Chain A
Amino acid sequence: MNPSHAKLAEAFNADEKRTDWHDQTLWFVRQKRDKAAHVLPEWEKLRQWASDIKDHTLSNLDVYLAEFEQKATANGVQVHWALDAADHNAIIHKIIRDQGLTRIVKSKSMLTEECHLNDYLQQSGIEVIDTDLGERIVQFRKEPPSHIVLPAIHLKKQDVSETFQEHLGTEAGNYDPQYLTQAARIHLREKFIQSELAITGVNFAVAETGGFVVCTNEGNADMGVHSAKIHIGCMGIEKIIPKAEHLGVFTRLLARSATGQPITTYTSHFHRPRPGQEMHIVIVDNGRTRQLGREDFRNSLKCIRCAACFNTCPVYRRSGGHSYHTAVAGPIGSILNPNLDMKANADLPFASTLCGSCTNVCPVKINIHEQLWKWRQVIAEEGLVAPSKKYSMKMMAFVLARPSLYRIAGSAGRWVMRNLSFLVKVKSLNPWYKQREMPDAPKESFRDWYKKNKEV
């Protein structure tokens, strides 16, 4: 079992300067998002529209999926359905194997991360080159991405420089992002031009037209796809939107929420393969229909993966994506991952102060912090919290439901803190005291004061 978020976050915080840097870098992205949102007086209306479109779509998802499949097939696209990650990986593997392909490029797709496609293919001796710069960096380092939009945001340019020195032969000590990016450009252009198969994610799939939209800034999805003989787009069932006109709403929200850009550099619309090319779509469930059935959590499926909730989350900014030990980190990950594996991810809904900022920045109005609260109830109900926590909560509830017991416990507690404070001040037993003083324990409670002074 993974170490918990709290443990990993503590390790992350051991280097305070680096934590500060991580926090400030992501806060800067949040500020860019604010500026971009404030340019549009209709921002809140757009969020509401986006939310309403997604609510409607989820309530008719079977109809739209079938419509999408029918239109896409008519467009000459081959549609596949995958029940889970294993299915998804097997479908892609089969296409690769049947055609005997070896040169494979992939642009950023959180779904393939969720399904651990690279690892799976690697076990069959097939190498996939990630082509998003950030993804390529973490792939060289054999790390997972730490952020769904900014995969290498946890790394400093010195780290990237060392990685590129090792893998691309760049000069030692050259930390210039321009220089490093140019090196990656040369390396990856060679991969694009030779590629036989290109895998991409899908940002939006339009039921009305059977096409799909992929958004990138680097142009890596297009470079790969337009070179390769085969294009495979991988999408979760929740990527569907009903009509082309809805793209107007989502493209206005997505990049502004993600990075504060008015739109991504490339918003590519794929409908038919180019002459001589094959185009495939893999439609994946992997727990999504189960989440659809959880009334309290189904609207997490509205997510468009902008990561605004990551950038605004004061906990994410100070704990880093890897502390969430899942493909999708951050607040949205903490409400999606317990659905995938409740036991392994039982710590995640507790990795939040429930401050609510995530809910406010969400472009599709997912009530993220309320769902974190609700997951806590489910996880406690399932018996997946530490027995000591459960016991102390039971004790607390018992005392607090009994006023006279509460009065005795309260004055006893204050007496202990005043007279036997060494008991409380054991850093290993009392996490509060590790880096914080205890509040002073007054001689009398308000209740005591009130009895003496209420007429004053």
Chain B
Amino acid sequence: MTGREKILSDVVKNKPTAIPLPVLDFKSIDQPFDILETFTKYVQAVGGEVVHVAHEQALLQQVTNERSAGKYIINRVPAGGQVDDVPVDPAILESVYRAYIKGSFGVAENGAIWVMESAMGNRILPFICEQLVLVLHKTELVANMHEAYASIQIDKEGYGVFIAGPSKTADIEQSLVIGAHGPKALSVLIIM
């Protein structure tokens, strides 16, 4: 018997009688609240900042300015002008100062933003850059994680991630330090 067969047959032998899958009535826990306000509060709570811009032109301006200042910028957001190809080699990406990536939507209850592989160009980009900017439109917000998972197909692409704030740790005496291995700052740019 292979390990697989042994494990599965031991499960069959030892598992309890079938218990039905619960019906999860997510509607029953819905609460009305101001989604943008709550989202902003939680992005700040998890160490990020929220920046409102009036229109896409402002984003384009910002990216253009930063590029001309000579910083290593990678822009993945079409509204920000030219969309850059992302190098494969992490050793090159390590020097990225700021990456602009389009988020699919934000989650109000925790400030998390769903980001898909295709938006990143390279899976490591949102982790290896020094600063991360995630761009959302004002309409791209949901209330909670139940709505979030109802809005996505998690296996649509090979990889996807909820990002809530910059990389952080509290492993030394529970003192919060921003910028553990990943970005030292996260801005959420909301196009109003």
From residue B83, how far is it (CB to closest CB) to chain A in Å? Answer: 19
A248 on the B face (CB < 8 A): yes
The segment from A269-277, A328-336, A373-381, A432-440 found at the interface with B is A269-277
Contacts A59-B17, A83-B3, A226-B122; A263 near B168 (Cβ below 8 A):
no
Q: Is the CB of A274 within 8 A of B123?
A: yes
Query: Is A235 engaged at the interface, CB distance under 8 Å to the other chain?
Result: no
A443 within 8 A of B: no
B residues 137-186 with Cβ under 8 Å of A? 144-146, 148-150, 153-155, 157-175, 177, 179-183
CB distance from B141 to the nearest CB of A (A): 15
Assess whether A223 is in contact with B182, with CB atoms less than 8 Å apart: yes
Residue B171 contacts which of A132, A210, A292 (CB distance < 8 angstroms)?
A132
A41 interface residue, CB < 8 Å from B?
A: yes
Flag whether A327 is at the interface (Cβ < 8 A): no
A299 to B80, CA, bound (A): 51
Tell whether, in the assembled complex, residue A193 and residue B91 are in contact, meaning their CB atoms are under 8 Å apart.
yes
CB of A223 within 8 A of CB of B181, answer yes
Whether B128 is near chain A, meaning CB under 8 Å from some CB there, is: yes
Instruction: Confirm or deny: A25 has a beta carbon within 8 angstroms of a beta carbon on chain B.
Output: yes
User: What 0/1 pattern do residues 37 to 49 of B give for CB contact below 8 A with A?
Assistant: 0000010011000
**Which size bracket describes the interface of B in this complex?**
35 or more
Cα distance A220–B180 in the bound complex, in angstroms: 8
Residues of A contacting B: mostly? helix
Q: How far is the CA of A268 from the CA of B168 in the complex (A)?
A: 15
**CA of A436 to CA of B6 in the docked complex: distance in angstroms?**
54
* Alpha-carbon separation in the docked complex, A283 to B112 (Å): 29
Known: A157-B173, A160-B172, A265-B46. A271 touches B154 (CB 8 A): yes
**B172 touches which of A55, A152, A259 (Cβ 8 Å):** A152
Partner of A245, one of B146, B180, B182: B146
Contact with B along A185-222 (1 / 0, CB 8 A): 10011001100000000000010011100000111101
Residue picked from B46, B107, B177, most chain A C-beta under 10 Å: B177
Residues A220 and B15 in contact, CB atoms below 8 Å apart: no
* Contact, CB under 8 Å: B124 / A227: yes
Smallest beta-carbon distance A161→chain B, Å:
9
Q: Is B2 an interface residue (CB 8 A)?
A: yes
B31 CB within 8 Å of chain A: yes
Whether A157 contacts B8 by the Cβ 8 Å rule is: no
CA A269 to CA B144, docked complex, whole Å: 18
Residues 259-294 (chain A) with a chain B CB within 8 angstroms: 259, 261-274, 283, 285, 289-290, 292-293
B residues apposed to A, CB below 8 Å: 2-4, 6-8, 10-22, 24, 26, 28-29, 31, 42, 45-46, 90-91, 94, 107, 109-112, 117, 122-124, 127-128, 144-146, 148-150, 153-155, 157-175, 177, 179-183
| 21 A-B residue pairs with CB within 8 Å | A62-B15, A65-B7, A131-B181, A178-B175, A184-B180, A189-B181, A193-B90, A217-B169, A222-B182, A226-B127, A237-B7, A237-B11, A248-B26, A251-B162, A259-B170, A262-B111, A263-B107, A263-B111, A265-B46, A267-B164, A271-B155
